[in-house]
Amino acid sequence: MLFYTIISILILTAVIVSIVITSIENNQFDRNSDLLSKSKSALSRQSNIAVIYFSRSGNTAIMANKIAEMFDAELIDIEAPKYKIGLKGLANAAMSFQDQEAEIIPETIDLAKYNKISLGSPIWFYRPSPPIWKFAENNRFDGKEVVFFNSYNSNYGQNHIDEFKSLVMKNGAKSFEHKAIIRGRMGSQLSTEEFLKEVVALFAEN
């Protein structure tokens, strides 16, 4: 009887935590979407610099948008339907965070015209998310300077960043640099304004 009671409590706790996280993510998504809708779009810019990113809740998206704005870069969003915002997307992210396979749109991009490419992804359980792994696997970076950027809640595994670097370099990159900002755990994160100041400070070093 005690065993089943403990199991029931654990299941209930997991459900409550998932609902709370989903609620926080939904709020982030709405807030970030509103901010992005007011920002100058970089989608149509003709540039030799590209900022290519995947984002679930919009945190990586606003980071990417600011970087594109700073360097007058072309901004390209990677979509991954499996991980859309919401409880199902959260569950899929939790179950497949170790994967390097994902359905992404677009699968490939002609990167020939770019000299420098910034790739952006959230960190899930200390690893870059599956969509950015799939994009890096599918595409050639011949002779390109690649900057990989993330925001994260608590930490990232340097071994995973090194593994991602190896993949990008194997696909022809001339150089690889990693830039990351700790935003903090859900419920006590940097405000959007503080976060964007951190982004500007980090990328102003270039």
The predicted-structure confidence for 138-157, as pLDDT tens digits, reads as follows: 999 999 999 999 998 888 99
Which residue intervals of the chain are DSSP H helices? 2-38, 59-71, 87-96, 130-138, 158-170, 192-203
Which tens digit of pLDDT belongs to each residue from 92-130?
767 775 666 789 999 999 999 999 999 999 999 899 999
Collapse the DSSP code of 53 into the 3-class scheme (helix H, G, I; strand E, B; otherwise coil) and give the result. Answer: strand
**Stretch 153-182: mean pLDDT:** 96
Q: Does domain 2-203 have CATH number 3.40.50.360?
A: yes
pLDDT higher at 25 or 37: 37
Q: Residues in the chain, how many? A: 206
Mean pLDDT, all residues of the chain: 82
Residue 127 is classified by DSSP as E
Segments making up each domain of the chain, as ranges: 2-203
| Alpha-carbon span 204 to 206, nearest angstrom | 5
Q: Which residue has the tokens 């991980």?
A: 83
Per residue in 44-84, pLDDT (tens digit) is 567 899 999 999 888 899 999 999 999 999 999 999 999 88
- Asked whether 104 and 80 are in contact (CB, 8 A), the reply is yes
